[in-house]
Amino acid sequence: MFKNFTVIRTEPRTEGDEENHEEMEEVALEGDAASTAKNTTEVQVQSESTNTTAASGKAAAASGKTETKRISMVVPGSVRSVEFSNLRANTAYVLQVYGSAAERKSKTHKATVITGPEPATEMVFSDVTDSSLNVSWSKPKTTFSGVRVTYTNIITGESRFVTVESHQSYVVLSKLSAGTSYIIIVTTTQGRTSSDILTSLMTTVPAPPTHLQVVNVTDTKAVLQWTPSQGKVDRFIISYESSKTPNVTVTVMLSGSSVEHQLRGLQRGTVYTVKVLSQKDSLQSMAISTTFTTPNLVKASEVGTRSAVIAWRTSTVVYYSYRLIYQVAGEETKEVILDQSSTEYKLTGLLPMSRYIVVVQGEREGQYTSVVTTEFITGKLRFPFPTECSQELLNGALQSGEVDIYPDGKEGGAVRVYCDMETDGGGWTVFQRRMNGKTDFYRTWNEYSAGFGNLSEDFWLGNELLHNLTTVGPVSLRVDLQSGNDTAYAHYANFTIDSAERHYTLAVSGYTGTAGDSMRYHNGRPFSTRDKDTDPLGIHCARAYMGGWWYKNCYKTNLNGLHGINSNNQGVVWIDWKGKDSSIAFTEMKFRPARFSPATHG
């Protein structure tokens, strides 16, 4: 174990060193004597108390001048490293170390070290964008071979570097993340050595938001929506101005988590330009912009319980088409596309006693501009949400046709049905029609349960809905038949269809009419189809006679048989009127509340 180590550093002497260092006596230093400096490899003095002595030997040169400077340091034997500071760049140093104890001295170990080049100075940033920046620096005056620029993303910790030739004093860093801070380090290099670092922190410009759009435009309000870009920002800045006051700009600042903003207090019939940019610290992104036009306010005309007329004037701007958008608050938006010659449109099928908001937009090259807007309230009805056609008749609908009814009230949603408002006082909900044979009635159980066909031609309304509509109260059934110029009907005072669990069993009684009581034979029978016969009494009737019906063994009427077939008993048949081999051309089955009185319905 050595008591001390002596470390000697020898370096070329520069001019002016002689006066200061002709004679240096050894000086003992207390504490951590190893100092930190540039242009040296850092080493640690692992001692809490270190004594060092600096001395200069007397020079002995043939010319009488000293050409080198020698500094020695004596440290305790427990120390394993020292650090030299204030070294000169690009300079060769000779280092020697030996240990001593009492009268003993170890072998001297010797190494030559060349310090790195001088560092660059004065780092400057320019042309900073959301994905790149320009770094420049002042080159050192001494020799170096190149420059290495390292940049580290402080969020992800990812580091990259680029190298440039010694004659170059700038570099462009690209593919950076927007709104992100980077640690930039510049070092000069000479061979395998490098200078001390020149370091700085720089943040890229935040990226602008994207997908800016204007929705829900009215005459005085509009909603801006956008998609934030990647990277956290401090705020969004919105600015907008109108064509009527181009020198007045309104600016709004929102939090960096915002994705929409409602503009209020706008002027009618005015073009607005809106810009949105993002900001982080003092850095602002480029702005994205869009324009929109607030519509003029018009008054709806001919507002009824279920309809209204919207009219607008032609514009000096040529639109290729119009889009009319209307909705009740809280309901789904509906729209209609109109051709460019349109100046009015009648809305039908509206909900009574409801407030509607309507916007008409003009389309030009795929872009829509609001032209007019209006609000109106539809009129009152005795039955705002009729559950079947007799209530719609009492609401004043006197013409037969397709109507929305609400079997479960407003909350249950609308069901489209066909109403017969003319036969025997009207108010009939039609659930079956055969007229042209376009629709196939040889269907499955599920198809008959859900319904099929065209309400204005051949159709079956559906067993599930039929069950719901015929079990809420006493219901009567009417069957209308026509073959050539002959017509007949059958009326049943009592009519219900049971649930799916009971196979949609038929209950019918109380016949009057001219067609004959063929339905009586089927009373109490379950419904059957080609894929389901729940109570067969012999053959599979639905398969044999190609329909879906309340077969027994098998039928006295088969109104869902094969249309236009007059043989093999497979046609549309009502035996008590035309027999088995005459297929009836037109049939219609319908129901209404048994209490309904045609003489007093108005």
Q: Is residue 58 part of a domain?
A: no
Residue 304 above 70 pLDDT? yes
Contact status, residue 421 vs residue 427, Cβ threshold 8 Å: yes
Residue 276 above 60 pLDDT? yes
Contact status, residue 492 vs residue 519, Cβ threshold 8 Å: yes
List 402's β-bridge partners, or say none.
418
CA dihedral 557, 560, 565, 569 (to 10 degrees): -40
In DSSP notation, 243-309 reads SSSTT--EEEEEETT--EEEE-SPPTT-EEEEEEEEEETTEEPPPEEEEEEPPEE---BS--SS-EE
Burial class (CB in 10 A: 0-12, 13-18, 19+), 48: exposed
Contact status, residue 390 vs residue 593, Cβ threshold 8 Å: yes
Question: What number is the average pLDDT over the span 101-127?
Answer: 91
Highest mean pLDDT pick, 211-215, 220-224, 353-357, 453-457: 453-457
Which has more confidence, 498 or 179? 498
**What is the pLDDT at residue 315?**
66
Q: Is residue 252 domain-shared with residue 300, that is, in the same domain?
A: no
Alpha-carbon distance of 427 to 261, in angstroms, equals 50
Highest mean pLDDT pick, 38-52, 307-321, 574-588: 574-588
Q: Is residue 554 domain-shared with residue 446, that is, in the same domain?
A: yes
Q: Is residue 573 part of a domain?
A: yes
CB atoms within 10 A of CB 484: 8
Distance separating the N- and C-terminal Cα atoms of the chain: 123
Could you list the residue range(s) of the whole structural domain that residue 350 is in? 296-378
Question: Which of 353, 378, 403 marks a domain boundary?
Answer: 378
Q: Is residue 600 part of a domain?
A: no
Of 88, 83, 59, 64, nearest to 73 (Cα)?
A: 83
Q: Is residue 96 domain-shared with residue 193, that is, in the same domain?
A: no
Question: Which of 115, 134, 155 marks a domain boundary?
Answer: 115
Q: Is residue 433 part of a domain?
A: yes
How many percent of the chain have pLDDT more than 70?
A: 90
Contact status, residue 434 vs residue 563, Cβ threshold 8 Å: yes
Q: Is residue 138 part of a domain?
A: yes
Contact status, residue 86 vs residue 102, Cβ threshold 8 Å: no
Alpha-carbon distance of 394 to 383, in angstroms, equals 8
Contact status, residue 75 vs residue 5, Cβ threshold 8 Å: yes
Alpha-carbon distance of 472 to 487, in angstroms, equals 31
Question: What number is the average pLDDT over the span 342-351?
Answer: 90
Q: Is residue 531 domain-shared with residue 486, that is, in the same domain?
A: yes
Residue 534 above 60 pLDDT? yes
127-184 pLDDT tens trace: 999 899 999 999 998 889 999 999 999 989 999 999 999 999 999 999 999 889 999 9
Q: Is residue 556 domain-shared with residue 449, that is, in the same domain?
A: yes
Sequence-ordered list of residues with C-beta below 8 angstroms from that of 27, at least 6 positions apart, any chain: 52, 53, 54, 55
Of 139, 160, 152, nearest to 184 (Cα)?
A: 152
Question: What number is the average pLDDT over the span 263-290?
Answer: 91
Of 389, 404, 393, 327, nearest to 358 (Cα)?
A: 327
Contact status, residue 403 vs residue 456, Cβ threshold 8 Å: no
Q: Is residue 24 part of a domain?
A: no
**What is the pLDDT at residue 14?**
58
Q: Is residue 367 domain-shared with residue 415, that is, in the same domain?
A: no
Sequence-ordered list of residues with C-beta below 8 angstroms from that of 117, at least 6 positions apart, any chain: 89, 90, 140, 142, 143, 144, 145, 188, 189, 190, 193, 194, 195
CATH code of the domain covering residue 330: 2.60.40.10
Number of domains in the chain: 5
Q: Is residue 416 domain-shared with residue 472, that is, in the same domain?
A: yes
CATH code of the domain covering residue 531: 3.90.215.10
**What is the pLDDT at residue 192?**
85
Q: Is residue 46 part of a domain?
A: no
Alpha-carbon distance of 48 to 34, in angstroms, equals 11
Q: Out of 28-42, 312-326, 347-361, 391-405, which region has the weakest mean confidence (pLDDT)?
A: 28-42
Q: Is residue 335 domain-shared with residue 482, that is, in the same domain?
A: no
Which helix H or strand E contains 104, and what residues bound it? strand 104-105
Sequence-ordered list of residues with C-beta below 8 angstroms from that of 324, at least 6 positions apart, any chain: 310, 335, 336, 338, 345, 347, 358, 359, 360, 361
Q: Is residue 461 domain-shared with residue 561, that is, in the same domain?
A: yes
Question: What number is the average pLDDT over the span 279-288?
Answer: 90
Question: Which of 378, 411, 431 marks a domain boundary?
Answer: 378
Contact status, residue 284 vs residue 238, Cβ threshold 8 Å: no
Contact status, residue 65 vs residue 14, Cβ threshold 8 Å: no
Reported as half-sphere exposure (CB side, CA atoms, 13 A), residue 21 has a value of 21
Q: Is residue 398 domain-shared with residue 338, that is, in the same domain?
A: no
4-51 pLDDT tens trace: 999 999 987 655 444 433 333 333 333 333 333 333 333 333 323 333
Reported as half-sphere exposure (CB side, CA atoms, 13 A), residue 147 has a value of 25
Q: Out of 203-207, 329-333, 545-549, which region has the weakest mean confidence (pLDDT)?
A: 329-333
Read off the tokens for 229. 């870009």
Instruction: Provide the 8-state DSSP code for 365.
Output: T
Q: Is residue 374 domain-shared with residue 498, that is, in the same domain?
A: no
Q: Is residue 553 domain-shared with residue 410, that is, in the same domain?
A: yes
290-299 pLDDT tens trace: 988 888 888 8
Q: Is residue 17 part of a domain?
A: no
